[in-house]
Amino acid sequence: MALMAIDNRDTIDSVAYESNTLILQLYDHLDFDEEFEYDHMVMLQDKLNTYIWYIDSNQYQDTYLEKEFSNFIINVFFMFEPTGLCKKFLENINLKLYEANIHINYFVEQE
């Protein structure tokens, strides 16, 4: 994994597109240690809020001037297995973002 920037909430880690879908990628290198879980979840929420704001504010149009996107995907790449709380958090966000055509996928990097 090249970029690991969960702790830099103001940066979009990676942007690409396929057809009418804008694809954003987020890299999370932190462990879900029990004592660190709350702080980790706050960082993840802040980072996802930045991505959602990037989409809602149409900032991607600065890079993709002539493109119209109707679907948006945020791929989260975890280095460590997310906790049940984190998985539930992502499910709840997906439900709230459904009507905005924003979907969050997550993957766990395998060594």
Return all residues near 65 (Cβ < 8 A) that are at least 6 apart. Answer: none
The number of C-alpha atoms within 13 Å of 111 and in the hemisphere containing its C-beta is: 4
pTM above the 0.75 mark?
Answer: yes
Give yes or no for residue 2 having a pLDDT over 70.
no
Across 48-57, average pLDDT: 96
